[in-house]
Structure 1
């Protein structure tokens, strides 16, 4: 079964300008991450294509990633970084969307940005509508308990927006009864929106100094998200190389592979590649990559 990894990061620590992430003092992550290194880790597990997700707020790094991917046909697209609320957003969007590998942007609680505050900004909402009209996808980052209400505001403002919620398994739901009820009601409403997808990524957790590799440890959380969003709107994403924080690529892949293959081949195919075509509208670049 072919696999499309919808979430990896690319960067080169040896560039003259350096990188904004990861930090130099992170011995696990501060190593150049390019497609050649990724292929060696991923291809043994059946990965035939990957989507890069931004890890830099620098405008020209959108172009740097596109230039890197041009020579690497395992890369089927990028989710870039543009600030939707800025006056130059429309110009920058038009510039990068001319490249068919530019599939959308990510905006969330990172790079000093406050997603919750932005959803009340008319300029931000105008940018969201422009992104949706362009047929591109919005990824969100670093989810918190306010996320469901904020995303509902976005989807109401731009009903045609394709939205991907990154790393939802890492979110700890609110503990208070009222907040928990509101969060779950919002999540259920998002679950009824056919344009909202969830990356079942960053599944592994560190507990008491160790990272469990047994799928049973994660089953309740995975069952809950699968129950809300269903088989048609879940996506595989490794979060490589950030995933090395928890475990090697094979272990990260192994947990979700065991969980989804247990549901049968048809469901596993949706998770591992079919749904990614609907979420991102990527196009095959070589014969090994599946056609929808």
Structure 2
């Protein structure tokens, strides 16, 4: 079993379409069948969708896709912090068994009442942000108690030219918090070098993440279709599989499957 914990599905033909913008170099329609075709030989068996749109209607639309397809094992929604009747809407969405969390950015910890609600509803928090935001995670957990947090896209750090001190410090700060995970995703988009498909180019980043998060707190994601202008899903799979297969069968299974089940509390999966 291999779970891709970061895909975006949308249909620009919908009247309510919000993301991606028209100028984005992605297909106009990205639905499960398009993703399955794009996989090629990459042996992905299910995916967790991450919503890029803060519109309430898009959260419900994705859940309708989840109802139709068992390949879609979970959905990280996206509700704007100023959404009218935020609590009522989140409670309604959380009642769906595949609604597993919400995604936030730099404003993640500016609305702690909403983070408390996530904890109450047993939802996780995906964070797409920077070192300054990640550095706030320990204080939030110390205040609220254990909340599940998934740092998106290897903490948004470029790959291939060393590691910045502020970023290193922020990632090391969460090392002792077992409910904080890091998603190994968007590495092609973040790559800064001349040999993008060479697994050796990613060793410095992957070694650092392994040292800090270990075999129990790293999860696999592709960031499809945002990754598509940079390389294939097969390339992404080959890069990470080369690394984690060398760590042994147990570590590989955790990275590709078991850690995702735990981080997102995916129902019906073990």
TM-score, normalised to structure 2's length? 0.91
What's the secondary structure of 2:146's corresponding residue?
Answer: coil
> How many residues of Structure 1 are paired with residues of Structure 2 in the alignment?
267
Q: How does 1:250-289 map to 2 (within 5 A)?
A: 250-284=234-268
Which blocks of at least 5 consecutive residues in structure 2 are unaligned?
A: none
1:78 aligns with 2:64: no
Match of 1:21 in 2: 19
Secondary structure class of the residue paired with 1:243: coil
Aligned twin of 1:287: none
Would you say the 8 A contact 2:125–2:148 is kept in 1? yes
**Within-5 A mapping of 1:75-224:** 75-84=72-81, 88-109=85-106, 115=107, 119=109, 121=110, 124-141=111-128, 143-168=129-154, 170-172=156-158, 180=165, 183-204=167-188, 205-207=190-192, 210=194, 212-224=196-208
SS in 1 for 2:231: coil
Distance 1:271 1:232 in 2: 7
Q: Normalising by structure 1, what TM-score? A: 0.85
Task: Give the drift of 1:147.
Answer: 2.5
The Cα of 1:34 is off from its aligned counterpart by: 0.4
- Of 28-37 and 222-231, deviating more is 28-37
1:72-113 deviation digits (Å, cap 9, x = unpaired): 11001100011346562211111101110111100114xxxx
- Structure 1 stretches of 4+ moved >6 Å: none
Where structure 1 has 5 or more consecutive residues not aligned to the other structure, the ranges are 110-114, 285-290
Over the aligned positions, Cα root-mean-square deviation in angstroms equals: 2.2
Shift of 1:184: 3.3
The separation in 1 between residues aligned to 2:60 and 2:7, in whole angstroms, is 17
Q: 1:240 aligns with which of 203, 224, 230?
A: 224
Partners of 1:21 and 1:83 in 2: how far apart? 14
Alpha-carbon shift at residue 189 of structure 1 (Å): 2.8
**How far does the alpha carbon of each residue in 1:30-83 deviate from its partner, in whole angstroms, 9 at most, with x for none?**
421101111223373221110000111111110000011211110011000113
User: Does structure 1 conserve the Cα–Cα contact (< 8 Å) formed by 2:132 and 2:170?
Assistant: no
Q: For residues 202 and 169 of structure 1, do their structure 2 counterparts lie closer, same or farther at Cα, with a shift above 3 Å needed? A: farther
Q: Judge conservation of contact 2:6–2:49 (CA < 8 Å) in 1.
A: yes
Deviation, structure 1 residue 153? 2.7
- CA separation in 1, counterparts of 2:139 and 2:28? 38
CA contact 1:21–1:56 (8 Å) conserved in 2: yes
Partner of 1:112: none
Q: Find the aligned partners of 2:217 and 2:15 in 1 and give their Cα distance.
A: 40
